[in-house]
Amino acid sequence: MTPISRRQITAMIASLALVLFGATNASANDKTAVATLGSGCFWCTEADFDKVPGVLETVSGYMGGHVKNPTYEQVSRGTTGHTEVVRIAYDPAKVTYAQLLDHYWRNVDPFDRTGQFCDRGSQYRPAIFTHSEEQARIAKESLEAIEASGRFDQKIVVEITPASEFTAAETYHQNFYKKNPAHYWRYRIGCRRDLRLKQLWGKDAKS
């Protein structure tokens, strides 16, 4: 039997915590919904969505791959098929899925399928992982609306696909922007994320 590493144990505990959170929250509020979105570095995606009224919880993790319970080291090599995502628990009475997507589009480079901002590789590809047929419909309509607006002359390449198994990232990644704000802002500024978003969306950028 292959020994389980400490990092794998940490990832398993984080995943279990997510499951327990979902079960507990569902019993407390059966109207809680979930969205899973990828827009590059999950540190930044967490920070972008924690500020949205109606968002109850954000958890960084990995989705879309073929390796079970991947670690950050595995995903970062770009060989597992996963991309970094954030799983968002929200109150649909306070914020709709369509409104979350409106916020999402203004915090992603929708024309770059090979990474996001300074982070390169399929593990940073932008993606909307849908949890129902309704979410899939809304996501497709929101993409088509942007393309039909005439604002851009490029084709949007963001992946819209059914959600698959979610693996929570290691504990040190969760709420990184709060626990290590200096490191986080050095990274975000150095990555020129907000500069690119303003280039794309101008005054409508929501970073």
The answer to whether the CB of 143 falls within 8 A of the CB of 149 is no
Distance from C-alpha of 4 to C-alpha of 9, rounded to nearest angstrom: 7
Token readout for 1 is 């039997």
Token readout for 69 is 């319970």
Catalytically annotated residue among 41, 44, 118, 191:
41
Q: Is 41 a catalytic residue?
A: yes
Distance from C-alpha of 168 to C-alpha of 158, rounded to nearest angstrom: 22
Strand order through the sheet with 55-63: 159-162, 127-130, 33-38, 83-90, 55-63, 167-168
Q: Which residues are tagged catalytic?
A: 41
